[in-house]
Amino acid sequence: MPAAAAFEVTVPATSANLGAGYDSFGLALDLRDEVTASLCVEPVDPVRCVEVEGEGEGSLPGDRSHLVHRIASTVLAERGLADLADRLLLHCLNRIPQSRGMGSSASAVVAGISIADALSAGAGLPEPPAAEKLAWATRFEGHPDNAAPALYGGVSVSYADAQGRPQSASIPVDPRVSAALVIPSARLDTAVARSLIPATVPHAQAAANSAVAGLFVHAISSAPELLFDATADRLHQEFRRPAMPEALARVDALRAAGLAAVVSGAGPTVLVLGTGGDLAERTAAALPGDDARVRGAQISEAGATTTALSPAPGAV
């Protein structure tokens, strides 16, 4: 079908919480989903407007209910550009494992917002400020810990300001720090994992967690030798053990080996932070006989990117 414009959006995988930073800390990883968006000249078939390749192929919807298309359509409609969504055709190349705690839904949400932003720019609307993009992403995701690094890259701490608006601040990353991921075949629904966390915890427990969260900022930015102590969580991981006993057993084994291991997001993937080019090898060695996939990773300084494939100024 003829296209008036086309562009590619890439969004990184993310890992949230990072131990003590529940619903606040997050980082971007060098594993990216890609979405090719084409704005067709005529409306497209609404039940065949999304093609999925890779993760989720054969199970994710190919109609306008697909998360990326749905987010783009919602944003466009609120900007008075609903007609553009009728002409939107997507090809999604998914590399981020889904329902594993690696931010696949945040990636899809940010991709949808980025597509809407590109189409809005083609229609002559100004580029929205970063805070507006984070507000959109938080609205759809529910909290900003994955959304912020998906948008901006790097390591971030997200919070609500005095007016309750989501905000995010970037944390510098010591160049020696890298990561390893222990990715199981099992999946876990985020809602299930969150449902196990109690509404309140003892004051002493919260105070101890606050101290570790503060230490993490120092460790990730300039003292990676402290990452083991800086990733000890007291707010959420242990409560989730019934839903992911294998993931927490991996965390236990890795920490017993001296590695700074945490549950990645809602799990069941495990994230290890550390230094040295052999971090993935040391991670695998601490889990003998485990059938989960161990993958080395780098923290990605780049967040979501948008690249024009067929510039067509004024075509929209």
Q: Is 256 annotated as belonging to a binding site?
A: no
How many Cα atoms within 13 Å fall on the side-chain side of residue 97? 25
Instruction: Give CA–CA dist 142/106, Å, rounded.
Output: 10
Summarize the chain as % helix, strand, coil (round to 5): 35, 25, 40
Q: Is 311 annotated as a binding residue?
A: no
Distance CA 105, CA 266 (A): 12
Residue 198 is assigned to a ligand binding site:
no
DSSP string computed for 171-216: E---TTEEEEEEE-S----HHHHHHTS-S---HHHHHHHHHHHHHH
**Cα 144 to Cα 135: distance, rounded to the nearest angstrom:** 8
Known binding residue 103? Answer is yes
Annotated binding-site residue? 300:
no
The answer on whether 73 is annotated among ligand-binding residues is no
Q: Is 106 annotated as a binding residue?
A: yes
To the question of whether residue 160 is assigned a binding role by annotation, the answer is no
120 annotated ligand binder? no
Residue 101 annotated in ligand binding: yes
List of residues 6+ apart from 27 with CB closer than 8 A: 14, 15, 18, 149, 154, 155, 156, 179, 299
Number of H helices, E strands in the chain: 9, 11
Q: Distance (Å, rounded) from C-alpha 132 to C-alpha 138?
A: 10
Separation between Cα atoms, residue 130 and residue 314, nearest integer Å? 24
Q: Is 100 annotated as a binding residue?
A: yes
List binding-site positions for ATP: 97-107
List binding-site positions: 97-107
